[in-house]
Chain A
Amino acid sequence: MIGPRPRRPWDRSPPEEREYFEILGEGLVAQLPPRTPGPPSDGGWSPPSGGAWLHVGADGVVRAFTGKAEVGQGTRVALSLAVAEELRVPLERVDLVMADTDLCPWDIGTFGSRSMVDVSPTLRKVAAGARAALIDRAAQQGLGAPSALEAVDGEVRVRGEEHGTPYGELVRGARVLVTVPPETPLTPAADWQRAGRPAVDPTADEVVSGQRVFVSDLWRPGLRFGAYLQPPRYGARLVRVDVGRLRGRAGVTVVHEGEFVGVAAESPGAAHAALAEVDAEWELESQPGEQEIEQYLRAHPSSGDSWDRDENRTGEPDAAYDRAPVRFEATYRSAYIAHVPLETRAALAEWDGNRLTVQVGTQTPFRAREAVAEGLGVPVDDVRIVVPFTGAGFGGKHGGPVALAAARLSRAAKAPVMILFSREEEFRHGYFRPMAIVDVRVGAERDARLVSWRFHNVNAGAAALLPPYDVPNQAVDNELSESPLPQDPYRALAANANNFARESAVDEVAGLAGVDPLAARERNLSDERLLAVLHRACDAANWAERRRPPGKGFGLAVGLEKGGRVATVAEVTVAPDRTVRVDRLVVAYEAGTIVHPENLRSQVEGASVMALGGALFEAIHFEGGRILNDRLSTYRVPRFSDVPSVEVHLLDRNDLPPAGAGETPMIAVAPAVANAIFDATGVRLRSLPLVPEGKVPAPGTAPPGPESSRPVVRGPRARRGPSGTAARRRRGGAGGGTGRAARSRTPPPRKARGRGRPRGRPGTRRRPSHPARAARGSARGRTRAPHRRAPRRTRRGRRGRS
């Protein structure tokens, strides 16, 4: 941590009052004017400032500042590369100061795949401005006319010469503050020498030798450890608490402020032991269990979080559906799942007089600053939040209740206090990826061209709600629910559930129409970038020539979210005992300009495997407001033995700005795997996780879950096209999968459509339609405004917490 502290956080001070040189030492500071609150397109997302600044020191080190945090997504190196590129210095010379609220530009948070999108342009600009300023300075010092000078390898040289004056020498003894004009030109990606090329993390040796200091590794002389009272079940309300037994206990500090009850002691064990002696009485309220959860969510709409709604109504989806020769309707589901960052929540709080510093693993340090200041009743200017290296987040570490609790305990104990969550606390007192229920109804032509698209998400949110497909008649919307389990962001948000439902449904329609899954997608897509990844993935996986011995299946899915385009081909084997094994994932991804190729590849690989957990087996189990699998021995995440061959193909569009990269590669995995399992077995699985026990149910057996999870597939089926015939022929030799064979042999009752058509098969219940949706809202165009989305706040307050 850089010291001493500024009098006020720099994002809350006018530029002329920032003590750049007192704190960073002599040198040159370049700053971009703070943005006035405005549209989010420049990454501002309003409040105070934004902007950017960096410092070039007499030692030649470039210190750049960003409010984003490094939680394993690799932006520290990627953003450093962007700075190194524009300032023409080796990567090792850049020291990126991240997520320190005293020193960094205000930032809304590290989520939404915004780091490269928001920050790389501003950091590049301020670095380019600093380069120009250094050249000017060299000219003033007599090196030559500015037009005759160039910046190379941390020096300013006369063009063509091999040596020049190092930056450090140019700024020695100086205190130069330059304001970079917003129109400063950037180096085109095509001319990059450092960014866009392979780079090794300069701190790699520290990581592999155990020297990287994570939040939970921090230490202070006299450090105390804290723990605080949490409700034993969701919905529990504290009615009476007595901490009397702990008063005066040697070595234990006890704090009871309002609803907050916590202790600090000499070790984490001693703190938890003391906390167990607190006499607390809770009022429990009835909570739905897993069996009732779907009905509960459908019956408890929420009016909050308007940012997380989206809709599109175009054309006449109902009339088009009624006329369509291929009709299909189903409900898809996705379970609550946990982020399980390997490092649990942790915070270290320490006071210096009336000024507080909390180091905490959070993705939203500036929001945590406001929350801590408000919770303690102290001025925001006195609170500093710093995010050290954090053992991952995946969207799971928004907010700062742990920071606030540590600060309260530290204030009372008059000593630094660390809170380290146990794994059980991490499961019980964090939040989950929301459960999703997605009702889909599709009408298509006989060639699988989509003509009517009705898509309704309950509870999970609006990310990737709108289809990338060109469908003339659409009714797409989502509703939010009062979730009995705490839920909040998770890597790629609702895009996981929405894309699973959409890409499964498109495959089902393709199957009904007898069209190859690739052709069905091609026929409905006009987005060239998405088509490009689709073709790259299919070429790499040899889709057209795929061979399917018994038990083998291939599945395809695409996805478009946060500007990134993904296509994934999954290859699975279903053993004779119906055990599923994912053999291979072929992923093509495009996210505009690639700044740090190896990191992007690493992110795509990791996201693809992480998504396999939610696709195959991850689910939170709960009953009566309690989590039943709150440990790693009972909540399964992907391990080495689950990992397939993962082949990643990156498309570099360096003519486009960087798009989001850390999340979107998640979203095509689950549908590709579900489609592959169908291809292998003829069994269509519509709920995530697909195979919680590892096995595909036999055809004809009831799918797991409530009765209402059965889809309603309405005839008539279309005649199989040529590709469908080929596909069927391939399947013909497979033997297994009677359900599929029966389906594909159904003759196309061309004339059957029309008035007398049955509204569903006997014995299947139709999903209730959603009259509220149909009645609501006039026809509106796209209202999508992804940039404006703030992080989801917990829809249900976690009562009893500080």
Chain B
Amino acid sequence: MAERVAPLRTGRYLELRVNGAPVRVERAPERSLLELLRFDLRLTGAKYGCGEGECGACTVLLDGAPVRSCQVRTVGLDGASVVTVEGLRESGRLNAVQRAFAELGAFQCGFCTPGMVVSATALLRANPSPTDAEIRTAMDGNLCRCCGYTRILAAVRRARELAAADRRGPQ
């Protein structure tokens, strides 16, 4: 989980950025980031799967780092930048990971997909050419109960190529 060093604030409202837009919600210290996203902001891409950070379905980016939003308290989130699966589009189009997952049909029920996509996006940003072993390690905290791991692994490999092509720009 990302270390936050911003001073605690105590005003009535919590102010942060979500998917690039400023957001102001009433402070509710007992709420998790997942609850804030789902119930206050109605952003339901991040899912509840276990409530203890074991399944990865609630993964979002907090100041760029992947976190289990069910384990993140909203206390101290003032000024934070949160990106959910809904905010991954780059210049209006799906990012490389999203396109790869869609192209390969790397989902069955699709409930784990938002968390998978966010984790894989974070991985490729940190390590543009991960090995299979690195992909497995980075994604080991994301469960797919349909067990479509083979296809998800293939999609992350494919995303690696698509992202590289994106970086090279139009040929």
Residues of A within 8 A of B (CB): 71-74, 200-201, 204-205, 207-214, 216-217, 219, 267, 269, 340-344, 389-392, 394, 420, 422-423, 598-599, 602-603, 605-610, 612-613, 631-633, 637-641, 643, 646
Contact = CB atoms under 8 A, between A and B. Distances in A.
Interface in B26-78: 30, 35, 38-39, 42-52, 54-55, 57
B171 to A, nearest CB: 24
Interface in B83-103: 84-86, 88-89, 94, 97-99, 101-103
B45 A605 contact: no
B146 A209 contact: no
A599 B143 contact: no
B114 A599 contact: no
Given A269-B30, A342-B57, A73 B48 contact: no
B145 A341 contact: yes
Nearest to A607: B147
A643 B150 contact: yes
Given A210-B84, A214-B111, A631-B50, A392 B146 contact: yes
Contacts of B48: 216, 344, 420
Given A632-B55, A640-B153, 7 more contacts: A204-B103, A205-B102, A210-B43, A210-B44, A422-B51, A631-B52, A632-B54
A599 B108 CA distance: 8
Given A423-B51, A641-B140, A343 B109 contact: yes
Contact of A200 (B84, B102, B137, B147): B102
Contacts of B150: 605, 609, 643, 646
B82 interface: no
A267 B107 contact: no
Given A209-B94, A423-B50, A342 B149 contact: no
A216 to B, nearest CB: 7
Nearest to A599: B105
B50 A610 contact: no
A606 B109 CA distance: 11
Contact of B52 (A269, A605, A633): A633
B83 to A, nearest CB: 11
Contact of A602 (B35, B103, B151): B151
B139 interface: yes
Interface of B: 30, 35, 38-39, 42-52, 54-55, 57, 84-86, 88-89, 94, 97-99, 101-103, 105, 107-114, 117, 135-137, 139-151, 153
A210 B86 contact: yes
A612 B140 CA distance: 16
B30 A632 contact: no
A390 B105 contact: no
Contacts of B99: 208
A210 B114 CA distance: 6
Nearest to A77: B105
Contacts of B54: 631-633
B102 A208 contact: yes
Given A210-B86, A211-B86, A420-B48, A392 B109 contact: yes
Nearest to A340: B145
Contacts of A216: 44, 47-48
Nearest to A206: B110
Contacts of B102: 200-201, 204-205, 207-208
A30 to B, nearest CB: 30
Contact of A209 (B86, B142, B149): B86
Contacts of A394: 145
Nearest to A217: B44
Given A342-B47, A344-B48, A72 B110 contact: yes
B86 A606 contact: no
Given A200-B105, A637-B145, A208 B117 contact: yes
Contacts of A633: 50, 52, 54
A599 B150 CA distance: 13
B145 A392 contact: yes
Closest 9 CB pairs of A and B: A210-B45, A72-B109, A391-B111, A210-B85, A204-B102, A609-B147, A217-B44, A632-B54, A208-B98
B109 A71 contact: yes
A211 B139 CA distance: 22
A228 B43 CA distance: 26
B107 to A, nearest CB: 5
Nearest to A346: B48
Contacts of A422: 51
Contacts of A390: 109
Contacts of B94: 205, 208-209
A267 B39 CA distance: 9
Contacts of B107: 204, 207-208
Contacts of A200: 102-103, 105
B149 A643 contact: yes
A72 B107 CA distance: 8
